[in-house]
Structure formats: structure tokens, C-alpha cells
Amino acid sequence: MSILAEISELVQKGKAKDVVTKVQEALDSGLSAQEILDNGLLHGMSLLGVRFKNNEVYVPEVLIAARALNRGTEVLKAKLLEEGVKPIGKVVIATVKGDLHDIGKNLVKMMLEGAGFSVIDLGTDVSESTIVDAVVEHKPNIVCLSALLTTTMNQQGVIIQALKEAGVRDLVKVMVGGAPVTQSFADQIGADAYTPDAATCAEVAKTFVL
């Protein structure tokens, strides 16, 4: 079995410690962080996602796998940060109110940091007032919003409205993403950008500050 297949399987089994060891081993063997992420860590979560959908595994198994995946991405992040880029801008990032999914958000954060942004992570289940307060306090260039549920994606629009009402909408770019979010939804709520994945998010974010 290839090392990437092993990582994928360890994520599905939720073996956080072993994931960390194998990710490090994969990096040492010369594989790129992107390859390990896409074909090891995320591959495992996507297979588990199918089993979750088919009711073959349940929330606890998925949570344990998510923790293992997050631990693995921390190892990759260390590698990206080794390159030591100076901050090129500031981002406030959050998963919206009612939504606890944070793997995608953490990946976006990691890619943004790798691209040279300093990132203030407000976590998950974040209300519009907390976002407004963070914009006022930290004066970021960009606000990044993640939503994974069809029931929470509308919250991205609520946040944009709250930024308008607080008079700070024009001070920031708002970027949105997450599995159910589309370009047409982003246009509809008045976001500045929609990107389908974390790497593209970091690329587009750079165009807003450089």
C-alpha cells in the first residue's frame, strides 16, 4: 500500500497519532504538502463522507476522523510556514453561525497563512455581531466565511448585511465558500468573491492586497 493510501486509511480510522507520523514520513520522503493533503488526508475524509451519507458510519466516527485530519494538516502547515513569508495582509476567518464544520475553514486558513497572510480565526458557529466586532477591532483586509450546510449558507448574506449596517462593509473584501455555496449564490448576497477550494481562495485573496 502506498504511503498516501495508508494516510487515507488512518484518517478514516481516526488514528490521529499515526496520521501525524505518516504525514511527517511522507514529507520526509519528498512528497509535496499538496499531494499529501489531496491524495492522503482529504481522500480519506471524502471516502468517509460517502459512508457517512450512506449511514454506514455516524457522527462520532466522523468527528474522530476530522480530529485526525486536522492533526495531519497541522504538520503540513508547519512545513508551509517554514518558508517564513512576511504578512501581506490580514484576514478574519470564521465558520458561520449554526455550523460546526471546520475542516475546510482550517484548510483555507492554512493556505492563506502559507500565502503570507496573518489570519485571525474566530472558530465555528460565529454570529454576525462577532464578525462585525472583529472587523472593527482588527481592521482586516478580508473576511473569509465558510458554510457547509444548506441551512447555514444564508448566514453569509446575513453577515454581509450586518457589516453594511455597521458601516464597515466597504472597508473589507468578503470571500465566501463551502460545499453548498456557488458563484451565483455569492453574487446574490453581494460577496466580493466565491472560490471553490482553499488554494484558489488564497490565490484570489492575494489579488485583493497586492
Enumerate residues 17-56 that contact ligand B1M by CB under 6 A.
Answer: 42, 45-46, 49, 52-53
Q: Does 150 bind ligand B1M (CB under 6 A)?
A: yes
Residue 96, classified by CB atoms within 10 Å of its CB into exposed (0-12), middle (13-18) or buried (19+), is buried
Q: Does 198 bind ligand B1M (CB under 6 A)?
A: yes
Residue 70 grid coordinates? 486536522
Helices (H), the chain: 3-13, 16-28, 33-36, 42-53, 59-82, 103-114, 128-138, 154-165, 183-189, 198-209
Enumerate residues 54-83 that contact ligand B1M by CB under 6 A.
Answer: 59, 62-63, 66
Identify which of residues 16 and 145 has a Cβ nearer to ligand B1M in the complex: 145
Minimum separation from the CB atom of position 87 to ligand B1M (A): 18
Angle at 4 between CA 49 and CA 13, to 5 degrees: 45
Identify which of residues 107 and 119 has a Cβ nearer to ligand B1M in the complex: 107
Which of 178, 186, 189, 202 touches ligand B1M by CB under 6 A?
178
Residues paired with residue 119 on neighbouring β-strands, in sequence order: 91
The amino acid at residue 132 is: V
Contacts with ligand B1M by CB under 6 A lie at 42, 45-46, 49, 52-53, 59, 62-63, 66, 98-105, 107-108, 144-146, 148-150, 175-180, 195, 197-198, 201
